[in-house]
Amino acid sequence: MIVRHWLAEAASSNFTCAIDSPTEASGETTHDGVKIVWGSKIPMHDGIRLNGTVYKPGHLKHALPAIFTLTPYTADSYHERAFYFAKNGYVFVLVDCRGRGNSEGEFEPFAGDGLDGYDVVEWLARQPWCNGKVGMWGGSYAGFNQWATLKHSPSHLATIVPAAAACPGVDMPTFNGIHFLYEMQWLTLTSGVTANQKIFGDSAFWIQRFRELYLKHRPFKDLDKIVGNPSRHFKSWLNVPPGNLYWKKVVPTAEEYGEIKIPILTITGQYDADQGGAMHYYSAHMKYGSKRACANHYLIMGPWDHAGTRTPSKEFGGLTLSEASVVDLNKLHKEWYDWTLKKGKKPEFLKKRVAYYVTGAEEWKYSKDLAQTHTLNRRLYLNSVDGHANDVFDSGTMNEIKPTNGTPDSYTYDPLDVRPAEIEREDVKSHLVDMRYVMNLFGSGLVYHAAPLAKEMEISGYVKFVAWIALDVPDTDFWIALYEIAANGSSLILAVDLMRARYRLSLDRETLVDRNQIHRYEFDTFNFVSRRLPKGSRLRLVLRSPNSIYYQKNYNSGGVVHEECAQDARIAHVRLYHDAQHQSFLEVPISK
């Protein structure tokens, strides 16, 4: 009925008039120089109407560029941002994704945002208060749907500024094929039509649910039932392989990256949980985009976590930064829009195309591309004495000397071992737990140290780890972390990577492991890091199998992981080789 009604409107001569006015706006008010128009109904290609809240300068004398956010968290979440931009010379429109807030339809995460974004762009461009130039703003999911909209090349989209942009199939709902229990927490946040912020933020509730799945060894597919929120989205995601076309079809293709012409500002952070997604888009554009378009794509790599990519803070997760790290991103966005939508000056902050913050040195640096953030890659080869590498006090080593022979290092991962839950309780912040405690308590991994630095050293770029590993099970998961260990023994995590063994060759296909055969594993999806290490500090590398309430558990059987439970469990004996034929090493990007 709705579709037929929309088609009838399209056939009538009044359709253009309906599009070109604030359709069925329920009311408006003016506050502190900003006019707010409530309940603008924006028609989509299939007859569904999205709800938009319009913020305009109170004394609008001529048409202005329009900026909008398409959000699943309901428009009210970004009231302060909209108010800021309206007071600074822009029309800002907060639009609820379909099925969310006051928008019609049904919310299907990641599925239809691109076409809806296209329709919003073209509707805004035809409004009397818009001069035909449209930009987008937003982060996380609202960073994803900027790229999803750009995929469809709306003619009036003049710029996007995606921050911490999630990329389906890359960092959401899995990372390298490994699910996080957080995805059910997010699906609960976006269940129904309004944001369920209270339950989403109740950490005690989620830890209890995650512990129930973990301690009772229930299959991962039961998580939504344990939470008490059965979700068809959760069920469908479990059945989609990580490299599947289902994910690829909602983001730009290589050809579509090549057609991009508008300026782009990508923002992410070294500790941003969606850095992988943000950098996937950026790297793909650098690879497939035209030279001219890439020259107008700027990247800011801050020292921030996920929230900090929109509201930076100099303290989070136990890390304290300098005042230089706290960039006024509202001001920077305004300057960017002035440049791209109003022919103003380029933001002074963007001295070159890549801006990145060096923690430790507490300063911003600039380069024309990511490759220039470092001058060399230094290989540190793994070794040990008689296989001693299971303890932070009796660890293996990392140095530039190539190994000639050596006893392989080994550890055991038992999926039925639930002792890690002892440190993942309501009263413990798991990401702050000292790794020395974890390794000494459980002995469930390998540890390697480099020698203390004779002088300070800057790491800027992507680390890579290559390991020759043999398993006696058809599959398991790996968690790799690089730390800075200060002279006083304190540690700071620098970079992390994850891999499911069956995806070691490609995310597009599963290749189970040959029992006790030595295979090469290349870990090359670490997060970008930039850190100046002081004299006397050193690097620590940790390799283990993730055994945590926060990760999907791999029971090592080689079966369908989300269906596995205690009866499928197989103990994995992991051996890492470092000899002349099997040179395992860490590659570190050094800046001089």
Q: State which of 137, 168, 190 marks the end of a domain.
A: 137
pLDDT at 434 over 50: no
Q: Is residue 148 part of a domain?
A: no
Q: Is residue 93 part of a domain?
A: yes
Q: Which CATH number does the domain housing residue 9 bear?
A: 3.40.50.1820
For the residues of 359-413, what is the DSSP string, one character each? Answer: BTTTEEEEESSGGGG-SEEEEEEEE-BTTB-SBTTB-EEEESSPP---PPEEEEE
Q: Are residues 415 and 548 in the same domain?
A: yes
* Structure confidence at residue 423 as a pLDDT band (50, 70, 90): confident
Sorted by sequence, the CB contacts under 8 Å of residue 309 that are 6+ apart come out as 139, 163, 164, 267, 268, 269, 272, 302, 329
Q: What is the mean pLDDT of the chain?
A: 92
pLDDT at 15: 31
DSSP assigned state of 145 = H
Q: Which CATH number does the domain housing residue 468 bear?
A: 2.60.120.260
pLDDT at 420: 83
Q: Are residues 496 and 549 in the same domain?
A: yes
Q: Is residue 3 part of a domain?
A: yes
End-to-end CA, the chain: 66
* Structure confidence at residue 187 as a pLDDT band (50, 70, 90): very high
Q: State which of 241, 268, 285 marks the end of a domain.
A: 241
pLDDT digits 0-9 by tens, 380-414: 999 999 999 998 989 999 999 999 988 999 999 99
How far apart, in Å, are the Cα atoms of 390 and each of 213, 247, 439, 509? 28, 39, 8, 32
pLDDT at 13: 30
Peptide bond into 173 cis (omega under 30): yes
Look-up of token digits 């930076």:
312
Q: Are residues 105 and 199 in the same domain?
A: no
pLDDT at 419: 87
Q: Are residues 398 and 501 in the same domain?
A: yes
* Structure confidence at residue 261 as a pLDDT band (50, 70, 90): very high
Q: Is residue 37 part of a domain?
A: yes
Q: Are residues 68 and 191 in the same domain?
A: no
pLDDT at 16 over 70: no
pLDDT at 36 over 80: yes
CA 489 to chain centre: 30
Q: Is residue 210 part of a domain?
A: yes
Least confident of 58-62, 123-127, 566-570, 572-576: 58-62
DSSP assigned state of 122 = H
* Structure confidence at residue 421 as a pLDDT band (50, 70, 90): confident
Average pLDDT over residues 433-450: 63
For the residues of 194-255, what is the DSSP string, one character each? Answer: S--HHHHT-HHHHHHHHHHHHHTT--GGGHHHHHT---HHHHHHHTS-TT-HHHHTTS--HH
Tell me whether strands 319-320 and 138-139 are parallel, antiparallel or unpaired: unpaired
Average pLDDT over residues 205-224: 97
Q: Are residues 408 and 552 in the same domain?
A: yes
Q: Are residues 470 and 553 in the same domain?
A: yes
pLDDT at 425: 64
Q: State which of 137, 153, 188 marks the end of a domain.
A: 137
Find the domain containing 395 and state its range: 376-591
Q: Are residues 212 and 126 in the same domain?
A: no
Q: How many CB atoms lie within 10 A of CB 422?
A: 10
Q: Are residues 539 and 441 in the same domain?
A: yes
Q: Are residues 102 and 216 in the same domain?
A: no
Q: Is residue 109 part of a domain?
A: yes
How far apart, in Å, are the Cα atoms of 358 and each of 274, 324, 460, 533? 19, 11, 8, 10
CA 286 to chain centre: 18
Q: Are residues 93 and 227 in the same domain?
A: no
pLDDT digits 0-9 by tens, 283-320: 999 999 999 999 999 999 999 999 999 999 999 888 89
Q: Is residue 277 part of a domain?
A: no
Q: Are residues 444 and 568 in the same domain?
A: yes
**Domain total in the chain:** 3
Which phi and psi angles does 38 have, rounded to 5°? -90, 145
Q: Is residue 358 part of a domain?
A: no
